[in-house]
Amino acid sequence: MWESFRFAFAGLRYAWRTQRNLRIHMAITVVVMALAGWLRFDPVRWAVLILTIALVWAAELLNTALEAIVDLASPSFHPLARIAKDVSAGMVLLCAIAAVLVGLALFGPGLWALLSPWS
């Protein structure tokens, strides 16, 4: 069991070192979590936020794994390899767009109440 954890953490370290977008996701995660704390999210909002963040991170990690598999299977250019990589990147984009929409639903009312001159 401990070896499985070691392999999993090795995968996370690899992705952290090699994937700029994962580091960007981390920066956004820190800002969003701090904002959620400042707005005093209730447990349900925290749960939705954490699941949304996990979805984006998981998509990014899956994209990294799929790119590695495609590179292994097709070291030279192949149109199907390009399609696999593009679709995988599209998956991350879709999850990121969904995360922004969830963020608007979670943060919008609280930020509007704090920042609106009419409140």
Tally of CB atoms within 10 A around 47 = 11
Helix or strand holding residue 104 (H, E): helix 79-115
- At 68, the amino acid letter reads A
Phi and psi (nearest 5°) for 81? -65, -40
Would residue 60 show up in a list of annotated catalytic residues for this protein?
yes
Q: How many whole angstroms separate alpha carbon 49 and alpha carbon 51?
A: 6
Catalytic residue among 22, 49, 52, 60: 60
Averaged pLDDT in 10-residue chunks for the chain of 119 residues: 94 96 96 96 98 98 97 94 97 98 95 79
